[in-house]
Amino acid sequence: MAHLYRSEVYRCSIWRTRLDTTTNWAVVTLGVALSIAYAAPDASPLPLVLVGILNLFFLTLEARRYRYCDLWRRRFRNMEMNFYGPMLGAPAGSDLWAEDLRSDYRRPVFRISYLHAMGRRIRRCYFWIMLIQILAFVGKITVHPFTVTSLQEALDRAAVGSVSGAVMAFGGLIYAASFAALALWSWRLDRKDQIENDIPQPDAIY
């Protein structure tokens, strides 16, 4: 059991490192977009829009990797709570933990949906990346290179090619609201799971 526990922790750590890799890519691309958008007074805000699409791609990759990480995490947490914990004096958990673990090894299945995984990663990392992106876009069209004097002027700056500023602003609102709703939905699922099963929040671990 000791070797099995170490192997599951190691597998989870490897996938955790892969999560960090995609997060780093998202941070780097956002930094590049900020440099381009604010490089000159007449620079377009388009890079800040394109980096949002690119970070959405990174988020989908990271959600897939998180599902694997969660699979290994649940296994070693099962052993911690129901095998090692009772040996150290903690209250015994479920009597069926070994059977659950055996079934998981025979036929492993993801315990978290793709959208749920995306919501967790938004709450953990991508919320701040997207917040900086949105604030940078708003700053670009309102104060750079000089402060606008009306809403219409800001919308004119937000226009990209044949796409009007109003359409860009509406798309930005949908973008932000969708990810905020997904993060809130995943938080409610995790909170419900915590209350029903008396387990720590996943974000407290990963």
Q: Which residues pair with 163 in a beta bridge?
A: 160
Alpha helices, H only, 80-123: 85-87, 97-106, 114-121
Q: From first to last of its 206 residues, what are the pLDDT tens digits of the chain?
A: 889 989 989 988 888 888 889 999 999 999 999 999 999 888 888 999 999 999 999 999 999 999 999 998 888 888 888 888 888 877 766 678 888 888 988 988 898 999 999 999 999 899 999 999 999 999 999 998 888 889 899 998 888 888 898 999 999 999 999 999 999 999 999 888 777 665 555 544 44
Domain boundaries, the chain: 2-204
Question: Taking the mean position of all CA atoms in its chain, how far away is CA 94?
Answer: 31
Amino acid at 42: D
Secondary structure letter of residue 92 according to DSSP: P
